[in-house]
């Protein structure tokens, strides 16, 4: 597997680099934007397609623009893509879907094994509870995070909405003022920002006189990075198409 790491100078890029060393997986190409201070030598800051070779696997932790560029470059060069940026608009998602018609593309808002387990637990819990139980999602992230709510909170919300037969119109992003009693069928979303939280997601299920709190806390970006490298191994042998992290954790090479 020949790996290219896009966003190599970022928080996740550094974590993927460390995980790759720990797992003995060499990174062949590092790609980032020109930085200030200067990007370190050996990091490609030009057009991504010029650094990506056919048959490579690109791991991307950049942003919406980077995800789009990675999708186009991978499709043009015949490289598989593991995409982790969050905060994507519909057009960015469409660019990734278009690439998946030509190469293997695996997209996940959260690459950690624990979050995958939380989603299973959550679906089971919601299936056992009446629809009268209220649902609130609380996420906490470091002060530098750009997008709110987090991609993972939206993934959890999508699972919960699907289980209840609701759409994203049911999401309630924070509350303020004299807004009256909580309507039924609302899913509350709360984005806490501060300090250095890596990724903390809590789902509250509140009934009459009782509640359930299901929470996943990432303490170290290594949790995401190891999942991303497992995903890279998965797509390195996968046919062109669209994959999710569930395909990795279900598959024979599961970490």
| CA atoms of 144 and 117, how far apart (whole Å) | 27
Half-sphere CA count of 160, side-chain side, radius 13 A? 31
141 is catalytic: yes
Q: Which positions touch ligand NAD (CB under 6 A)?
A: 6-7, 9-13, 31-33, 61-63, 65-66, 69, 84-87, 108-111, 224
Minimum CB distance to ligand NAD, residue 219 (Å): 13
Backbone φ, ψ for residue 95 (5° rounding): -65, -40
Q: Closest Cα partner for 72 from 97, 95, 101?
A: 95
| CA atoms of 244 and 249, how far apart (whole Å) | 9
Minimum CB distance to ligand NAD, residue 179 (Å): 30
Residue number, 134 or 244, with CB nearest to ligand NAD:
244
Beta carbons of 248 and 106 less than 8 angstroms apart: yes
Considering the candidates 142, 145, 190, 216, report the single residue annotated as catalytic. 145
Report the sign of the C-alpha dihedral through residues 105, 109, 112, 115, in that order.
Answer: negative
DSSP of 134-194, one letter per residue? EEEEEEEE-TT--SSS-HHHHHHHHHHHHHHT--GGGEEE---SS--SPPTT-EEEEEEE-
Minimum CB distance to ligand NAD, residue 62 (Å): 4
Considering the candidates 141, 201, 216, 226, report the single residue annotated as catalytic. 141
3-state helix, strand and coil shares in percent for the chain, rounded to the nearest 5? 35, 25, 40
Minimum CB distance to ligand NAD, residue 46 (Å): 10
Residue number, 47 or 101, with CB nearest to ligand NAD:
47
Residue number, 31 or 81, with CB nearest to ligand NAD:
31
Minimum CB distance to ligand NAD, residue 49 (Å): 12
Residue number, 30 or 190, with CB nearest to ligand NAD:
30
Residue number, 10 or 188, with CB nearest to ligand NAD:
10
86: three-class secondary structure by DSSP: coil
Minimum CB distance to ligand NAD, residue 182 (Å): 29
| CA atoms of 244 and 119, how far apart (whole Å) | 13
Number of residue whose CB is nearest ligand NAD: 10
Give residues with Cβ within 8 angstroms of 71, minimum separation 6: 81, 83, 95, 96, 98, 99, 105
Is-cis flag, bond preceding 216, omega within 30? Answer: no
Residue number, 135 or 153, with CB nearest to ligand NAD:
153
The catalytic residue positions are 141, 145
């Amino acid at each position: 597997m020949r790996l290219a790491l896009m966003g190599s100078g970022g928080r996740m890029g550094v974590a993927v680099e460390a995980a790759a060393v720990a797992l003995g997986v060499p990174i062949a190409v590092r790609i980032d934007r020109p930085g200030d201070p200067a990007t370190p030598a050996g990091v490609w800051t030009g057009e991504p397609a010029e650094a990506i070779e056919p048959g490579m696997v690109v791991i991307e932790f950049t942003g919406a623009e980077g995800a789009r560029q990675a999708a186009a470059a991978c499709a043009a060069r015949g490289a598989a893509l593991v995409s982790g940026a969050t905060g994507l608009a519909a057009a960015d998602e469409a660019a990734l879907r278009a690439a998946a018609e030509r190469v293997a593309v695996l997209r996940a808002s959260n690459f950690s094994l624990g979050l995958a387990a939380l989603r299973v637990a959550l679906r089971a819990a919601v299936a056992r509870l009446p629809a009268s139980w209220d649902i609130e999602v609380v996420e906490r992230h470091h002060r530098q995070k750009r997008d709110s709510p987090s991609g993972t909170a939206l993934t959890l919300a999508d699972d919960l909405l699907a289980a209840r037969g609701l759409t994203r119109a049911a999401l309630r992003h924070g509350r303020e003022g004299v807004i009256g009693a909580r309507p039924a069928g609302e899913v509350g979303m709360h984005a806490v920002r501060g300090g250095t939280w890596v990724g903390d997601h809590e789902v509250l299920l509140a009934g009459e006189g009782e509640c359930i709190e299901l929470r996943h806390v990432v303490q170290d970006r290594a949790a995401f990075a190891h999942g991303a490298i497992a995903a890279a191994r998965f797509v390195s042998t996968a046919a062109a198409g669209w994959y999710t992290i569930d395909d990795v954790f279900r598959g024979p090479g599961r970490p």
